[in-house]
Amino acid sequence: MSSKTVPVVEAMNVKKTYMLGKVPVEALRGVNLRVETGDFVSILGPSGSGKSTLLNLIGALDKPTSGTLRIDGIDIAKLNDNQLAELRLRIGFVFQFFNLIPRLTARDNVELPMSIADMNKTERKKRATELLETVGLKERTNHKPAELSGGQQQRVAIARALANNPKFLLLDEPTGNVDSKTASEVLALIQNLNKEQNVSIIMVTHDEKLAHQAKRIIKVFDGEIHSDVVN
Ligand SMILES: Nc1ncnc2c1ncn2[C@@H]1O[C@H](COP(=O)(O)OP(=O)(O)OP(=O)(O)O)[C@@H](O)[C@H]1O
Ligand SMILES: [Mg+2]
């Protein structure tokens, strides 16, 4: 890998301490991490180990207490709320519970982030159609979430996450709410996006089997990275 390219994520001695009343809770105790373009990383760890905390930081949803976190080369500590929101438009989020808007069709759900980013209507429509085709839902563009299976809803969520050409996809237990067959389909789609389109993937899970499908596995324990191995 070229050392000249800017890593999509670079964490240097990142710490996060929550205050629970007057009691400090050290959720991250000095994390060092570098994720390059085209990586497929899974972050594995037990409950309470700090996975969501790390994911929130990588997604620019929160700032570290100390240390440096760069997303696409940008030090997030230096950004104000508006700049953080702008940065988040360039990150593709996929959550465990899909988080689609129930009133909107699959197409309109995928178009939404593009309209927030001020893309014009014609372009938006074209891109939504392409993305839904990519995730295998060409025949379901006018369905609302309730008219889709769990796996199909998650594929809409992935298409939506890709809408604004994100620097990377951030997935939090993406197969946590679908059956095992659907889970393998969703995983195959994620692997394909990584392989064919070089989309960088960071996936948090506590499912060991799922984690081992990634190219690189990072194990978090008690707020620290315990191991970081190429699969
Ligand atoms: N807002 C908060 N205020 C105080 N403590 C918090 C807060 N959020 C998380 N914590 C604590 O920080 C630690 C890490 O939590 P985190 O949510 O990152 O764990 P996790 O690895 O995502 O766990 P899970 O697998 O259960 O989702 C835990 O001890 C948790 O209790
Ligand atoms: Mg969590």
User: What's the predicted TM-score (pTM) here?
Assistant: 0.89
Residues 72/8, Cβ–Cβ less than 8 Å: yes
pLDDT, tens digit, 9 for 90 and up, residues 166-205: 889 999 888 887 888 888 888 888 999 999 989 999 999 8
Ligand 1 within 6 A of CB of 47? yes
Closest CA to ligand 1's atom 18: 50
Give the Cα separation of 88 and 90 in Å (integer): 5
Domain 1-89+168-179+199-231 has CATH 3.40.605.10: no
Residues 185 and 189: their CA atoms lie apart, in Å, by 6
* Share above pLDDT 90 across residues of the chain, in percent, rounded to a whole number: 74
Strands 23-35 and 40-44: unpaired
CB 95 within 8 A of CB 61: no
Q: Which atom of ligand 1 is nearest to the CA of 46?
A: 25
Locus of tokens 């953080």: 84
> For a pocket test of ligand 1, which of 26, 43, 49, 221 has the largest count of ligand atoms closer than 8 A to its C-beta?
49
Q: Boundaries of CATH 3.40.50.300 in the chain?
A: 1-89+168-179+199-231
Instruction: Supply the residue whose CA is at minimum distance from atom 24 of ligand 1.
Output: 47
